[in-house]
């Protein structure tokens, strides 16, 4: 397996601002109001009417006030699908990002991007504080997987361990269009190699949820088990048995492969 690390779009915050600040408010207003129109007369029919409901004393003064009023207000003020800024994001920026991501996979002969689904653990509950919570780089947690959904690429997310206090984290695999079978194989191999998932002690298995399968369960033929250590964005593809040193973001990594295990771990920096 060939494992490479890298960083895409140093100006990713600009791209996110275009999606969150332009595309999402426009599309949210259009499609949310299409949905509201299907509801009965007792329900709001426009984003502005929905805002009025959420601003009512019954909700605004409750223990669970709405956390999306800012987003809804931006939607209510948006100019619609003909807004030139929205057209630019939909017809220029989004295809460019999509083509660049696919081009990176193709040019490096890779199957998938691997990255933490969110760049931090779960934020504190509303109205509480947690001195141990860190959101790098000082901004709200970035849902990096939204790059995939924004440009229409397949993605699968799997458990990837826990913090010292027991908060879960996940790893996402993003691939090129119609590569779902490859992503499922990689995700399955990662799950079988790590066994990171821990069933909730509060929610017992449902009737019929536990099944008996033949042992051993066949592994996907083309994908070995995968374990990744470190941070950032990884990309992976199966290769012949070999040892390969790679470099990205001024950090060196060594990737090794055994019969059924691949690991990528930081090594001492070399000049």
- Give the per-residue pLDDT at 109: 87
Instruction: Specify which of 20-29, 54-63, 136-145 reaches the highest per-range mean pLDDT.
Output: 54-63
Q: Is 145 exposed, middle or buried (0-12, 13-18, 19+ CB in 10 A)?
A: buried
- Give the per-residue pLDDT at 157: 93
Matching residue, tokens 């066949």: 218
135 vs 127: CA distance, rounded Å: 17
Matching residue, tokens 């791209």: 15
- Residue 89 is classified by DSSP as I
260 vs 72: CA distance, rounded Å: 49
Average pLDDT of span 187-199: 89
Mean pLDDT over the full length of the chain: 73
Q: How many CB atoms lie within 10 A of CB 1?
A: 22
pLDDT grade for 119, boundaries at 50, 70 and 90: confident
**Is the dihedral angle over the CA atoms 128, 131, 134, 135 positive or is it negative?**
positive
Please answer whether residues 77 and 191 qualify as being in contact, where contact means their C-beta atoms are separated by less than 8 angstroms.
no
| For the chain, percent of residues with pLDDT exceeding 70 | 65
What pTM value is reported for the model?
0.64
What pLDDT digit, counting tens, does each position of 62-99 carry?
A: 888 888 888 899 999 998 899 898 898 888 888 888 89
Q: Are strands 168-174 and 155-162 parallel, antiparallel or unpaired?
A: antiparallel
Buried b (16+ CB within 10 A) or exposed e, 2-22: bbbbeeeeeeeeebbebbeeb
3-class DSSP state of 160 = strand
Helical segments of the chain, H only: 12-18, 24-36, 47-54, 57-60, 69-76, 84-88, 94-107, 146-151, 180-194
Beta bridge partners of 157: 172
């Amino acid at each position: 397996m060939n494992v490479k690390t890298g960083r895409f779009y140093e100006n990713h915050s600009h791209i996110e601002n275009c999606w969150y600040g332009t595309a999402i408010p426009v599309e949210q207003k259009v499609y949310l109001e299409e949905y509201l129109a299907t509801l009965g007369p007792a329900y709001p029919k426009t984003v502005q009417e929905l805002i009025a409901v959420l601003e009512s004393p019954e909700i605004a003064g409750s223990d669970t006030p709405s956390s999306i009023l800012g987003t809804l207000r931006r939607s209510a003020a948006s100019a619609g699908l003909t807004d030139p800024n929205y057209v630019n994001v939909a017809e220029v920026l989004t295809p460019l990002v999509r083509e660049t991501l696919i081009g990176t996979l193709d040019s490096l002969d890779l199957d998938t991007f691997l990255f933490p689904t969110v760049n931090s653990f779960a934020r504190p509950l509303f109205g509480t504080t947690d001195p141990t919570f860190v959101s790098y780089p000082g901004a709200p947690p970035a849902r990096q997987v939204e790059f995939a959904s924004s440009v229409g690429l397949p993605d699968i997310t799997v458990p990837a361990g826990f913090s010292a206090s027991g908060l879960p984290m996940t790893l996402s695999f993003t691939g090129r269009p119609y590569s779902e079978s490859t992503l499922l194989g990689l995700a399955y191999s990662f799950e079988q190699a790590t066994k990171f998932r821990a069933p909730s002690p509060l929610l017992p298995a449902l009737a019929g949820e536990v099944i008996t399968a033949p042992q051993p369960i066949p592994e996907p033929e083309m994908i070995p088990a995968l374990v990744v250590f470190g941070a950032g964005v990884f990309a992976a593809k199966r290769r012949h048995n070999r040892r390969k040193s790679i470099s990205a973001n001024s950090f060196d990594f060594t990737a090794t492969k055994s019969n059924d295990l691949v690991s990528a771990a930081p090594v001492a920096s070399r000049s």
